[in-house]
Amino acid sequence: MLDKALAINALKLREDFPILKQHNRGNPLVYLDSAASTQKPLAVINAISDFYLTDYANIHRGIYELSERSTSRYELARKSVQMFIRAKEANEIIFTSGTTAAINLIAHSLSEYGQWQAGDEVILSVAEHHSNLVPWLLLKERIGIILKYIPMHDTGELDIDAYKQLFSARTKLVALSHASNVLGTLNPIEKFSEIAHSHRVPILVDGAQVVPHMPVNVQDLDCDFYVFSAHKFYGPTGIGALYAKKNWIEQLPPHHGGGGMIETVSLDQVTFVKGPTRFEAGTPDIAGAIGFAAAIDYLNKVGMQNVFAHETALLDYAEAQLLQIPNLKIIGTHKPKVGVISFVIEDIHPHDLGTVLDHEGIAVRAGHHCAMPLMTRFGVPATVRLSFGIYNTHADVDACVAAIQLAKRIFS
Amino acid sequence: MLRELYQEMIIDHGKNPRNFGELNEANFKQVGHNPLCGDKLVVYVHAENERIQAVRFKGEGCAISMASASLMTELLEGKSLQEAQHLFEQFHLLVTGGVTTDDLGKLAIFAGVAEFPVRVKCATLAWHTIMAAIQRDKEIVSTE
């Protein structure tokens, strides 16, 4: 069956992902959960194992050739990340173990640098993923900071006028997702940055759900910090990146201490290196960084503009199909969106729907998606969420819709 | 397999749960809540001389959790507290291992849950809750 004309040839791309050939409960796997994590192409899997086969050694420490090669590849990976998100310098990229680790790092280092105290304020939105909520709730418990929330319209659009009113003399940071992992709605970060900076407040942006779906330019966004994980864009688990503007890299104190980030250590003193490695204590996930770079190479060949066009076409097609199903409601309709759709069906609990879909081979997520406050905002215990990746096709959407119709028949 | 889990009786009881509502004469009461799932219910029991006179429940959640609560209330009416405990253990064996016994009557249809381990907590929520109620366990019950 020839797939409809798409910006990328997803059917051909699927050949790079052998894991998709398997069955789920006896039916061909239809993987529609890329927002949770993406599958990895052979190019990434091979890059990691080839690295261990030929170039692996500990980095930044050895004086032998193998170690130089390993270090060089790790630093080239840093450069790859810099160019991918169009940061000014490679020295603005810190490798972390993921988005959650990066946000926790900023929570610790920034609050220490700014000497945050009880009554200081952080602005968040009601739609944040728990990884950009819990670190701030922990600070609230530990030092008594106040959290203020940007409200959301029923459409899924954040209320930017209400945002402007949230600032005070005590505001220390804005921490905001680039797109909702539940609704898919994209937030206009340039505007949010401008408003934050007009109050001399820095802004941290959680880009985990956007970097896999469209080109990102952190200089245009003008955010102070931008964080994302490799496993959400066709790279390995265990590694992510934290972009921080150069002045922050220079000013922020380290959070984790150990080898690789020090200049000198004596029994009662320590001095630290300058630059991003100051935040990379210990032996990092070197092979993970190599896999990260391989995923970037792979995506660059596909073209991020093409990825966005492909997923937008799937999103539009899926919305049109889903809206034909009686009593189905899509949560969050505001455009533009990344390729994520959450919906509920009257009289069918999301878990019952998820089980039927699972049985038909469809992998979707049914639950609160690590965004409990957002569920409360929309008055639902859970939603079913479809999310697209570069390997999804119109046929995947058709299979999902057929399974939903089966569920409707079972529960009627 | 799906048909075994979502049999007509389960769909029916999920949509039209029996013994649904509060119980004024209740002398035992407990809340069960699985926050990650969103299943929530309250079980009311009126027991005298160690025998269940009436049992009702209120709540909202997935079809499995509501149907299980509904059928449980039907089965346990008139049973002694000791018999209820025994049936609880049998039900647990049923949904985790598919082991059926005659005592469970209509509840044998939940054997299908054993093939869907993720849903065991939905099926057992009402049962854990009623046991906690009878044993006067103060904490809100969760099967997560």
Q: Is residue B122 less than 8 Å (CB to CB) from chain A?
A: yes
pTM assigned to the model: 0.92
Answer yes or no: do A359 and B2 touch at CB < 8 A. Answer: yes
pLDDT value of position A260: 86
Whether the CB of B123 is below 8 Å from some CB of chain A: the reply is: no
Q: Do B119 and A350 touch (CB under 8 A)?
A: no
pLDDT score of B98: 83
Q: What pLDDT was estimated at residue A347?
A: 87
pLDDT attached to residue A412: 80
Predicted pLDDT at A77: 98
Within 13 Å of residue A407, how many CA atoms lie on the same side as its CB?
30
Facing residue for B116 by CB, picked from A348, A355, A367: A355
Best of A352, A375, A411 to substitute, by most chain B Cβ atoms within 10 angstroms, is A352
Pick from B2, B11, B37: which is nearest to A351 by CB? B37
Contact between A365 and A351 under an 8 Å Cβ cutoff? The reply is no
Q: Quick one: average pLDDT of A393-404?
A: 96
Q: Average pLDDT of A351-372? A: 92
Residue B137 is predicted with a pLDDT of 86
Query: Taking 70 as the threshold, does the pLDDT of residue A115 lie above it?
Result: yes
Q: Is B5 on the interface with A (CB under 8 A)?
A: yes
Interface of A with B in 344-403 (CB under 8 A): 347-352, 355-356, 359, 367-368, 381-382
Report the alpha-carbon distance of residue B131 to residue B110 in Å, rounded. Answer: 19
**HSE-CB for A73 with a 13 A CA cutoff:** 26
Of B5, B11, B60, the CB nearest to A411: B11
pLDDT of residue B37: 78
User: Which structure tokens are listed for A202?
Assistant: 């820095």
Mutation to test the A interface, candidates B37, B64, B121, B143, most A Cβ within 10 Å: B37
- The torsion angle over the Cα atoms of residues A187, A189, A191 and A195, rounded to 10 degrees, is 110
Closest approach of B137 to chain A, Cα-based (Å): 26
**Binary contact (A349, B62; C-beta < 8 A):** yes
pLDDT band at residue A248 under the 50/70/90 scheme: very high
* pLDDT for the residue numbered A6: 59
**Res. A3: pLDDT tops 50:** no
A4 pLDDT more than 70: no
pLDDT means per 10 residues, chain B with 144 residues, are: 83 94 94 87 94 95 95 95 94 90 89 89 95 90 90
Give me the pLDDT at residue A302, please: 95
pLDDT at A62 over 80: no
Nearest chain B CA: its distance from A410 CA (Å): 8
Contacts of A313 (CB under 8 A, 6+ apart): A4, A6, A7
Residues of B in contact with A356 (CB under 8 A): 2, 6
How close is the nearest chain A Cα to the Cα of B133, in Å?
25
The pLDDT of residue A124 is above 80: yes
CB contact under 8 A, B119 and A355: yes
Is residue A400 part of the annotated active site? The answer reads no
With a cut of 0.85, is the ipTM above it? yes
Residues within 8 A of A (CB atoms), B 19-48 only: 36-38
Predicted confidence (pLDDT) at residue A214 exceeds the cutoff of 70: yes
CA gyration radius, chain B = 14
Determine if residue A408 is left, alpha or beta; phi over 0 gives left, psi from -120 to 50 gives alpha, anything else beta. alpha
Q: What is the pLDDT of residue A284?
A: 94
pLDDT at A2: 40
Averaged confidence pLDDT in chain A: 95
Percent share of chain A, pLDDT over 90: 91
Region A406-412: mean pLDDT is 91
Which residues in chain A have their CB less than 8 angstroms from residue B14's CB?
A: 352
d(CA A186, CA A164): 18
How would you classify the pairing of strands A365-367 and B39-48?
Answer: unpaired
H or E stretch at B5: helix B2-5
